[in-house]
Structure formats: structure tokens, C-alpha cells
Amino acid sequence: MIIEEYDAKSLVRTARTSLFSWAEVYLNPYQGCEHDCVYCDGKAESYYMHDDFGQRIRVKKNAPELLELYFKKQGFFPVNREKTSTLVDYFPNLRESADSSKKKKFVLFIGGGVCDVYQPVEKEVKMTRKLLQIAYDYKIPVFFLTKNILILRDLDLLKKINEESYACASFTITLADEKKQKIFEPNASTSQERFEAIEKLRDEGIHSGIYFYPTLPFLGDTDENMNSIYKTGKEVGAEFIYCWGLTLKRGLNKNQFMKALQDYFPEYYPKYKELYGNEDKYGSLDSTKFEELGLIWPEIKGYKLGQELKIDYTLKRYVPEGRIESNLMIAEVLNRLAYLKSYFIRSSKYETRQLNLAASYLNSFSKDISLMSNEERSKLDIDKVIIPYVEEYIREKRSKTLKSTEEKAYTSVSKYIKQKESK
Ligand code: SF4
């Protein structure tokens, strides 16, 4: 394994919130990932990563400085830092005002995309721990998604952050069978270890759930594998299971995956060739072929299983300090409605788009929408189709529409699965 250090020009990026993680700020302290998962789309040429992605890890050695700089630019103080050279330590009153200034906080996703921040190299480099310590110092809520139980090393910090605000440490789990899992995720912790880690985190009060992603056709989407992941997830106390399919971007990502299929599961090779033969830019499979092969969308199966086992299909939103609670809670409802309507009820694209646009608008809207008059609200840049959902939430302090849409989605997916299975 080659480890290279370098000074990065930038570290932090912002992104629109989505129900995937609700995070708004992301960072990657590493480039490359020792886990070297066969399906990893971080290897795709479109991310401009190095070819030896799994064998050469590049470490952004100035990541802690860049993160501090970013927090300072946002007007935050390291209020939890015991020894610091900032003015706050010499003038305790400043600490008070810094803390109560309630600058708009956000959930920070440490990782995501092109690395796993708890890959084995982290044991030695401890870069993620340094960044987590800074997040604690600045009282910033955090979100993690990993395949390595090394995250448990940082339980002390996760607990401290969670006590003050919010920490979510989630795991990707795609294959329950260890032999198959080791083929596709050779250097990650076993699925069993990950389940046990979730149990431990939940026992400690940390938020945790499962990203059942990517669900591999014929291998991960079998009843046996899906039931096993959902049932064990329930047993260990996972708060949610987010289920999604596989993309294979043309080039390295797809070539490596197809090679592994040829080596270990040649029986599925021709079917994958059909499914992913469309050379789609985003690596999406050919939905017509998918239907022809009689497959059932994993998101649909997953939603049904989750509803039956009473596991949420995504994580609940946390409202960071300095943010307007009702706006963010309504935005969550709208994003969830868009998701359900789009994937399980197949409502019009227009409505789902407007729901997501309105959610995005509310995320950054500076006035509390629940304190405005109906007339004022009607002048906002929110489509009138969406207004009844907003009004309902403000009136009832919850969304009956979301509840009924979840039930409708369950009926719809059950019907779909039944039809598929009877063919
Ligand atoms: S853990 Fe994630 S980033 Fe690392 S190789 Fe696997 S899929 Fe890629």
C-alpha cells in the first residue's frame, strides 16, 4: 500500500440536502480507498481519480487547517476547545456570545464519494479522528457512512458530539453472505462485524442505520439476502435502511465489475451484459431489459420489507442549531413525499419536481414559514400544488398526507410485487 501526503487546495464542498443523508457540507480527507470494492463507482474516470485507486492512498495532510479555516469563515468558534489561542479562551464572555450567536449550523458529512474515511490507513494516519475532533470543538453535527468498524475507535468523540447535537454513524451493508461479500468488498469489515457495530452504536445512543446500496442484481436482490439484511438490521436496532440499486459507469468501474462476474459468477455475466449494455453516462441499467428479465426493483422490495418490519426507509432529519425548525421539518416532509411519489406511486414528474424545489427553497428560507399569514405564504416561490402540504403541517404539526402516502406506497408496491411474482 502506498500512502502519499499532499497539500490540497480545497477540502469542503456544499451540496443541496436530500433524504440520502440531510448533510449540507461534505469533505474527503483521502483520495483512493483501500477497501477496493469491486463495484466502487469512485473508480470511474469521471471522478479523475488515479488508476491505482485501491493501492495508493493520497492523504490531504492540510485537511485539519482547511476545515478550521472553513468553520472560522462561517463565523463559528471552537467553543469546546480547552486549549486554544483564540480570544475566546482569554475572555470567557466571548465564549458565551460565540455560543449563543447561533450561526446557522449544518450536518457535516465526513466522507462520501471517493473514499471511506475509516479505511485501514486511517488507523495509522488518524486524519478522520483529527477532523472529528475539530467538528466537536466547533459543535458541528456529523454524519458518517462507512464499511469499516474502525469507526468504533472514535466512539468517545461521537458520543460527546451526539450529547451536544447529533452524530449519525451508518454502515453500508450489501451482502449478508460472507463469501460473496468478501468478493465484492475484499478489504472492508465483514457484514456481521458491521451489524454488531450498529448494535454497539445504538446502545450508546448514537444514530445509526444501513445503506443497502448498491443492491446487486441476482446476488443482492434475492429474497434470502434482502430478508436477512432487513431482519438483522431490525434486530440490531438500525433506525433506517436506505435501499438502492447498482450503477456501473463505463470504463474502469464497469470493466472491473464485469471481470469479477466472469471470475466468480459467470452464470450472471450475460444477464449483466444485457442490463448494463446501454453505456448510460450515469451507469444506470436499461430499465426495459430489467423488466424483460422479470426482475423487481430493489427499492420497491426494500420499501415493502421496511414497512413490514417498521424500519424507516431513510434517516430522520436533524435540525442543526440556528436553523428554523418548522421550515426544515416541512422540507423533510416534501422530500419524502417526492421520493415516495416518484418511486412507488409513479406520480407526475411535475409534482415530484415541485416538491423537491419547494423543499430546497424552504431549506434556505430565512423566515419561519409557520409564523407567516396565509396571504404571505401564498406569495412565496412555492408551487400552489405544494401549498396544501405546507398548510397541513403548520396546522397539525405533522403530516397526515405523508402517513397516507406511505400507506398508499405500501399498497402499490405490494400489488406490483404480487403481479411480478405471479408471472
Ligand atoms: S468503501 Fe466506498 S469508496 Fe471505498 S472502495 Fe468501497 S465503495 Fe469505494
Assess whether the C-beta atom of 41 lies below 6 angstroms from ligand 1. Answer: no
Q: What is the pTM of this model?
A: 0.94
What mean pLDDT value characterizes the chain?
Answer: 93
45-51 long-range contacts, CB within 8 A, separation 24+: 45/249, 45/251, 45/252, 46/249, 47/113, 47/114, 49/114, 51/252
The answer to whether domain 325-422 has CATH 1.10.10 is no
Ligand 1: distance of its center to the CA of 14 in Å? 21
Assess whether the C-beta atom of 33 lies below 6 angstroms from ligand 1. Answer: yes
| Residue to probe by mutation, ligand 1, list 1, 26, 31, 33, most atoms within 8 Å of CB | 33
Ligand 1: distance of its center to the CA of 61 in Å? 20
Say if residues 7 and 158 touch (Cβ distance below 8 Å): no
The CATH code of domain 2-309 reads: 3.80.30.30
Say if residues 239 and 310 touch (Cβ distance below 8 Å): no
User: In this predicted structure, which of 29-33, 50-54, 198-202 has the lowest mean pLDDT?
Assistant: 50-54
> Per-residue pLDDT for 90 more than 60?
no
Burial class (CB in 10 A: 0-12, 13-18, 19+), 224: exposed
From the CA of 54, give the closest atom in ligand 1: 5
> Per-residue pLDDT for 96 more than 50?
no
Ligand 1: distance of its center to the CA of 181 in Å? 13
Assess whether the C-beta atom of 194 lies below 6 angstroms from ligand 1. Answer: no
Say if residues 105 and 140 touch (Cβ distance below 8 Å): yes
Residue nearest ligand 1's atom 8 by CA: 40
Closest CA to 402 of 393, 412, 391: 393
Residue 310, φ and ψ in degrees, nearest 5: 55, 50
**Residue 78 and residue 136: Cα distance in Å, rounded?**
8
Spans of all domains in the chain: 2-309, 325-422
Question: Could you report the per-residue pLDDT of 221-262, keeping only the tens digit for each?
Answer: 999 999 999 999 999 999 999 999 999 998 889 999 999 999
Burial class (CB in 10 A: 0-12, 13-18, 19+), 155: middle
Ligand 1: distance of its center to the CA of 292 in Å? 31
Question: Could you report the per-residue pLDDT of 291-350, keeping only the tens digit for each?
Answer: 999 999 999 999 999 999 999 999 999 999 999 999 999 999 999 999 999 999 988 899
All three cell numbers of 92, joined, read 470567557
Residue nearest ligand 1's atom 6 by CA: 37
Ligand 1: distance of its center to the CA of 138 in Å? 28
**DSSP designation for 205:** T
What is the secondary structure of 97-117 as a DSSP string?
HHHHT------EEE--SS--T
> Per-residue pLDDT for 100 more than 50?
no
Question: Could you report the per-residue pLDDT of 74-83, keeping only the tens digit for each?
Answer: 999 999 986 5
Residue nearest ligand 1's atom 7 by CA: 40
Assess whether the C-beta atom of 36 lies below 6 angstroms from ligand 1. Answer: yes
Beta bridge partners of 146: 171
**Residue 237 and residue 200: Cα distance in Å, rounded?**
9
Which DSSP helix (H) or strand (E) runs through 58? Answer: strand 56-60
Assess whether the C-beta atom of 115 lies below 6 angstroms from ligand 1. Answer: yes
Ligand 1: distance of its center to the CA of 222 in Å? 22
When computed from its CA atoms, the radius of gyration of the chain, rounded to whole angstroms, is 22
| Residue to probe by mutation, ligand 1, list 28, 31, 34, 35, most atoms within 8 Å of CB | 35
Query: What band does 53 get if pLDDT is binned at 50, 70 and 90?
Result: confident
Assess whether the C-beta atom of 122 lies below 6 angstroms from ligand 1. Answer: no
Peptide bond preceding 217 in cis form (omega within 30 of 0): no
Residues 76-95, mean pLDDT to the nearest whole number: 66
Which DSSP helix (H) or strand (E) runs through 63? Answer: helix 63-73
Question: Could you report the per-residue pLDDT of 377-418, keeping only the tens digit for each?
Answer: 988 999 999 999 999 999 999 999 999 999 999 999 999 999
Closest CA to 166 of 271, 239, 112, 227: 239
Which DSSP helix (H) or strand (E) runs through 273? Answer: helix 269-275
* Non-local CB neighbours of 405 within 8 Å, separated by 6+ positions: 337, 340, 341, 345
* Non-local CB neighbours of 36 within 8 Å, separated by 6+ positions: 53, 54, 55, 186, 187
> Per-residue pLDDT for 127 more than 80?
yes
Per-residue burial over 313-326, b if 16 or more Cβ lie within 10 Å, else e, is: bbbebbbbbebbeb
* Non-local CB neighbours of 239 within 8 Å, separated by 6+ positions: 202, 207, 208, 209, 311, 312, 315, 316
